[in-house]
Amino acid sequence: MTDYQVIDPATEQVVETVALASPEEADAAVERASRAFRSWRDVAPGDRARLLRSFAETIDAHRDELAALEVRNAGHPIGQAYWEADNLRDVLHYYAGAPERPSGRQIPVAGGLDVTFAEPLGVVAVIVPWNFPMPILGWGLAPALAAGNTVIVKPAELTPLTALRIGELALAAGLPEGVVQVLPGAGPVAGRRLVDHPDVAKIVFTGSTRVGKEIMAACAPGVKRLTLELGGKSANIVFADADLERAAATAPGAVFDNAGQDCCARSRILVQRSVYDRFMELLEPAVRAVAVGDPRDAKTQMGPLISAAHREKVAGYVPDGAPVAFRGTAPEGPGFWFPPTVLATPDFATLPAWHEEVFGPVVTVAPFEDEAEAIRLANDTPYGLSGSIWTRDLGRGIRMARAVEAGNLSVNSHASVRYWTPFGGLKQSGLGRELGPDALAAFTDVKNVFIATEEEK
Ligand code: NAD
């Protein structure tokens, strides 16, 4: 076992030291989860629903504590941290409605009765990144539990604190031992052990496309079930007929929320050429007005980046001589700060920031002529997670939403995530869908049973 120092990214102070699990400890967690599965799968639907509601209410009762913990661990602004704790509560409530909903089918066949059962898979490992520790944990955990699986959560090395507390709260809410476990550990050690373990039936992985591909390959030998939520390089497409004031006022939030550390960040803004100059005039004050600072202050909109190493990576996208159109502000002194930054150049396609997922507060703006060019630019990426289209022409909005290769599109809005609608990526942004009414399908296998009603001759 090795120790890991958790750092407050706004102050650079050590918050806590967390022990990282060894492969043997991962094995022991799987053994406990397998044992717990035998009884959890048979808990009556009404009782499982009640336990999930109790879990949700326990999270709600601790929302101040969880939000404050996320502020210290991830540097998220306090208002956002409350949203995150509340999202976990709401996802648990939403899927608490699932165990009692009938899910099997009865299909007409000759000579008998044919029915389907949605069988839980067994032990599910949920591997979580550092950017939204609570929501992403919940999106895997809640439907997996509702379907009758037991869950091991492997939080990111940088952000284990809320996950560890949530594991304690699951027990306090009455969930039996072993049904929810939180295993802090290094990705290539404890995480990889969960991926390779023959008694783990499914991996839910959210993180980088690089590690996602590695995990996909590692799941192949055991034909292990897998959901992948990976990177993004989303386009925010603004047509000349749009409400330009609203488009410009909302564009900073669409990329700089969570300091750009968001898989759905609209990190490419495409603006129709005839309104490009006007849009930039409107965008500049909106970017300068982003309140960057102490995450404990309720007025703060953007906090620091997660770590010194990550800030260095983000800064690499804005080298000396980069075509910076304008920037917002960032505090001086301790903390991993980086100002909101807007890049613009006729040679935008040569910038690494145009092609790669920056995962920081850097956006590139580019002009386009017409719908065809906007579609070509938007789709010129291996990613396909989300995107926005701004236009007053309803037909164009629908045409564009169908043509842009992404799993989650919004017209005249930047909303990508609601726990009651499906979420996930096309192309290399992922595999499978989370959330929404069908999420339990990703945590069950369909079993078809035929019962003969004819007497054997
Ligand atoms: P990461 O891939 O480095 O790590 C994610 C998680 O995987 C961590 O818990 C890590 O410990 C673990 N891990 C690392 N190597 C592993 C291995 N070999 N085997 C098993 N587990 C391993 O990603 P990150 O830097 O924590 O997160 C940022 C990335 O996550 C970005 O690319 C972002 O776009 C993506 N993301 C995607 C979504 C989505 O829903 N599509 C949401 C949030 C973040």
415's tokens:
């909303």
**Catalytic site includes residue 264:** no
Distance in angstroms (rounded) separating the CA atoms of residues 145 and 25:
22
pLDDT in tens, the chain (457 residues): 589 999 999 999 999 999 999 999 999 999 999 999 999 999 999 999 999 999 999 999 999 999 999 999 999 999 999 999 999 999 999 999 999 986 799 999 999 999 999 999 999 999 999 999 999 999 999 999 999 999 999 999 999 999 999 999 999 999 999 999 999 999 999 999 999 999 999 999 999 999 999 999 999 999 999 999 999 999 999 999 999 999 999 999 999 999 999 999 999 999 999 999 999 999 999 999 999 999 999 999 999 999 999 999 999 999 999 999 999 999 999 999 999 999 999 999 999 999 999 999 999 999 999 999 999 999 999 999 999 999 999 999 999 999 999 999 999 999 989 999 999 999 999 999 999 999 999 999 999 999 999 987 6
Is any atom of ligand 1 closer than 6 Å to the C-beta of 206?
yes
- C-alpha of residue 128 to centroid of ligand 1, in Å: 6
296's tokens:
């404990």
Question: In angstroms, how far is CA 217 from the centroid of its own chain?
Answer: 21
- Indicate if 188 and 285 belong to the same structural domain: no
- C-alpha of residue 353 to centroid of ligand 1, in Å: 20
Q: Which of 413, 345, 365 is nearest to 268 (CA)?
A: 365
What CATH number is attached to the domain comprising 166? 3.40.605.10
69 is a domain residue: yes
264 is a domain residue: yes
- Indicate if 197 and 321 belong to the same structural domain: no
Do residues 188 and 214 lie in contact, with contact meaning Cβ atoms separated by under 8 Å? no
- Indicate if 220 and 350 belong to the same structural domain: no
Helices (H) and strands (E) in the chain, counts: 14, 18
Distance in angstroms (rounded) separating the CA atoms of residues 27 and 22:
9
- Indicate if 240 and 220 belong to the same structural domain: no
Is any atom of ligand 1 closer than 6 Å to the C-beta of 160?
no
**Catalytic site includes residue 229:** yes
- Residue with the smallest CA separation from ligand 1 atom 18 is 188
Q: Which of 148, 124, 144 is nearest to 41 (CA)?
A: 148
- Indicate if 382 and 444 belong to the same structural domain: no
Is any atom of ligand 1 closer than 6 Å to the C-beta of 359?
yes
420 is a domain residue: no
- Indicate if 240 and 226 belong to the same structural domain: no
Domain count, the chain: 2
- Indicate if 257 and 319 belong to the same structural domain: yes
- Residue with the smallest CA separation from ligand 1 atom 19 is 192
- Indicate if 93 and 203 belong to the same structural domain: yes
- Residue with the smallest CA separation from ligand 1 atom 16 is 187
- C-alpha of residue 433 to centroid of ligand 1, in Å: 17
Is any atom of ligand 1 closer than 6 Å to the C-beta of 131?
yes
372 is a domain residue: yes
- Indicate if 76 and 184 belong to the same structural domain: yes
Residue 6 has a CB neighbour count (10 Å cut-off) of 18
**pLDDT tens readout for residues 79-109:** 999 999 999 999 999 999 999 986 799 999 9
Which of 206, 227, 359 most suits a substitution to test ligand 1, by most atoms within 8 Å of the C-beta?
206
Distances (CA, A) of 252 to 13, 78, 115, 259, 406: 29, 19, 51, 10, 20
Distance between start and end Cα atoms, the chain: 65
Is any atom of ligand 1 closer than 6 Å to the C-beta of 154?
yes
Residue that the structure tokens 């591997």 belong to: 127
- Indicate if 266 and 163 belong to the same structural domain: no
- Residue with the smallest CA separation from ligand 1 atom 15 is 187
Domain span at 376:
235-411
What CATH number is attached to the domain comprising 353? 3.40.309.10
